[in-house]
A and B are shown apart, each in its own frame.
Chain A
Amino acid sequence: MKYLSLVVANLKRHKLRSILTIASVALALFLFASLRSVTTTMAAAAQFGGARRLVTLNATGLVFPLPLAYGNRIKALPGVTGLSWANWFGGRYGDGKNFFANFAVDAQSYLDIYPEIILPADQKQAFLQDRTGAVIGERLVSQFGWKLGQDVTLQGTIFQGDWTFKIDGIYHPTDPAIGDNVLIFHHDYFDERIGRAGIAGWYIVQIDDPAHAPTVAKAIDDMFRNSSSPTKTGTEREFQASFATMWGNVSFLMSTIGLAVVFAILLVTANAMMMSARERTGEIAVLKTVGFSDGLLFALVMVEAGALALTGAAIGLGAAKILYPAINFNGAGFLPGFKVATSTLVIGALVAIGLMLASGLVPALRAARLPVIQALRKVE
């Protein structure tokens, strides 16, 4: 502690340089934490899924629907205890700049199968009894200022026309991967408006035992193998993971950019530390003359580098941890449950320690190895 004044005085020698160095480290680690949080949030979303839920899609691809008639046949299979279905609607609100997901769902069965969607009983009842009603996530309330009982009109992008819904309920998700910015409405109303096409985007199949998942999935796919719309059934987790793998290259890109930013900042910090040490060649020689040992001078320079790197890291990582929850960030709806994970903070702190070592080592070694006589000759 008694050397603290010496360290602080040296950091205050060029205040602007120290501030800019700390700011650059803070920015780098803020970006690192943000980019890594995108990938961890996506990975967490891929882990979402009840062990007792399967998802059945059209084997050709997600954009191709399945006949509604499949429902009863799936429900009749052994091991199936519940069934629901949904359709991606793709409606937009206002100028469409604020994207949010909206689905047509079979309301009663959907809410039964997803206990993660918490809806007050009276609102649930109102929704079930209102064919043109909708339920919205709580984020949409703060985002658009919508209220219970209010009519909202979406413009259909896939299914043309204006679609007006009355807000009957506001839900709160117990799992962030569900997303709190989704609007769901009745599939029956949807089907009627599109001329009773009788289609479902995907089925959600509840099974009696997670151990039966492969058997039930095979049974479903075998049942429709030779039909006009063959199916592909998997666990809900596999379904989510398939979305995450679509982002695979993005994750790689995020990680690469994050590392590149940190490396660039490392060079800036190292340069600042080297300049600082070079400017003080004479002073270091004087300290050696006074009796400061090589080891002590090495430690003091490392502490300076550490103070810059760790202060910057604390600001950058702290800002990321505080800022995103404060602004309720969810990546325009694409990153529900976005948060800076503890693992990201730990890795960020390790990066800061690495930064300290990499930027401080060379100047610290130079200070420790400085030949006093030659250095004094330069200043005298």
Chain B
Amino acid sequence: MALVEIRDVYKSFQREEQRIDVFTGLTLDIDAGSFTALMGPSGSGKSTLLNLMAGLDKPTSGTVTVAGSQVSTMSPGQLAAWRSRNIGFVFQSFNLLPVLTAYQNVELPLLLTRLSGSERAERVKIALDVVGLADRAGHYPRQLSGGQEQRTAIARAIVADPTLMLLDEPTGQLDAKSSQEVLALLQRLNNEFNKTIVIVTHDAHAAERAKTILHLEKGDLIEKPRMAAVGR
């Protein structure tokens, strides 16, 4: 059974009087432990697909099921709790809270758990160790480089040990060296820690790191995945 099951999803937006259909019956499976890259031109629906998987958006019709939970039917309150347990989200522009240190940023998802202060501290330390930033715990985002900021964001995404990691253009604002570091880190998380990763990217080099590449074109998967996923 796939970790992510997207079944016959329709998604449309209303922009003034015009209806824009993003997905018209999309079906897709993503297996646990996979590393999938979603590629495609702007407006093809990559980010919308990521948002649907994260429960940030709802399909017009169809179902999105992640780890056995039907995300598309949950209430906002249920979705918030579900996201805190199951989703690690990484943004293109890092989106660290500028008033918090790297440590405090990474700790954020753990504040929503019942862990004690010392247990949280231990987990934050491990997460920062994994991304190679243990020595930057007390630094504020403005004191970090772009690559370090993104690695902190990845630490924040993995600290609560989520079921699924979703990354939206994680290397979009990084130079080549930092991009390689981040991508190597993602590969390591997938290979060593068996994290299920879905990454949206325009960058073919970044996509090559994934085990599966899906191409979206106007809401349709036009190229079949190399592995696990089945497109319509």
Contacts and interface: CB of A to CB of B under 8 A. Distances in A.
Contacts of B81: 291, 293
Contacts of B97: 9, 283, 286-287
Contact of A289 (B54, B77, B92, B111): B54
Contacts of B91: 286, 376, 379-380
A283 B100 CA distance: 11
B220 interface: no
B61 interface: no
A379 B80 contact: no
B104 interface: yes
B95 A9 contact: no
Contacts of B93: 379-380
B219 interface: no
A293 B80 contact: yes
Q: Which of A288, A289, A376, A379 has the most CB of B within 10 A?
A: A289
Interface in B93-113: 93, 95, 97-100, 104, 108-109, 111-112
B13 to A, nearest CB: 10
A290 B108 contact: yes
A373 interface: yes
Interface residues of B, number: 31
Contact of B99 (A10, A287, A293, A380): A10
Contacts of A148: none
A6 to B, nearest CB: 7
A373 B99 contact: no
Nearest to A369: B76
Contact of A293 (B77, B89, B92): B77
A166 B123 CA distance: 82
Interface string A113-143: 0000000000000000000000000000000
Contacts of B56: 288-289, 372-373, 376
Contacts of B57: 373
B117 interface: yes
B157 to A, nearest CB: 9
A10 B109 CA distance: 17
Contacts of A293: 76-77, 80-81
Contacts, number: 75
A379 B99 contact: no
Contacts of B82: 291
Interface in A274-307: 282-283, 286-296
B200 to A, nearest CB: 11
B169 to A, nearest CB: 8
A12 interface: yes
Contacts of A376: 56, 91
Nearest to A282: B95
A366 to B, nearest CB: 15
Contact of A294 (B76, B98, B99): B76
B95 A291 contact: no
A145 to B, nearest CB: 55
A291 B99 contact: no
Given A13-B99, A286-B95, A373-B56, A292 B104 contact: no
B76 A3 contact: no
B83 interface: yes
Contact of A9 (B51, B99, B112, B156): B99
Given A6-B111, A379-B93, A380-B168, A288 B80 contact: yes
Given A2-B111, A9-B99, A286-B97, A294 B77 contact: yes
A6 B100 contact: yes
Nearest to A5: B104
B77 A295 contact: yes
A10 B87 CA distance: 25
Contacts of A5: 100, 104
A290 B89 contact: yes
Interface in B15-34: none
Interface in A1-57: 2-3, 5-6, 9-10, 12-13
B84 interface: yes
Interface string A143-170: 0000000000000000000000000000
Contacts of B92: 380
25 contacts: A2-B117, A5-B100, A6-B104, A13-B98, A13-B99, A286-B91, A287-B108, A288-B80, A289-B83, A290-B84, A290-B89, A290-B108, A290-B156, A291-B80, A291-B82, A293-B76, A293-B81, A294-B77, A295-B77, A296-B80, A296-B112, A373-B56, A376-B56, A380-B91, A380-B168
Given A283-B97, A293-B80, A376-B91, 20 more contacts: A2-B120, A9-B99, A13-B98, A283-B95, A286-B97, A289-B54, A290-B83, A290-B84, A291-B84, A291-B112, A293-B76, A293-B77, A294-B76, A294-B77, A295-B77, A296-B112, A373-B51, A373-B57, A376-B56, A380-B93
A-B pairs with lowest CB-CB distance, top 8? A291-B84, A293-B80, A9-B99, A291-B83, A286-B95, A13-B99, A289-B89, A372-B56
Interface of B: 51, 54, 56-57, 76-77, 80-85, 87, 89, 91-93, 95, 97-100, 104, 108-109, 111-112, 117, 120, 156, 168
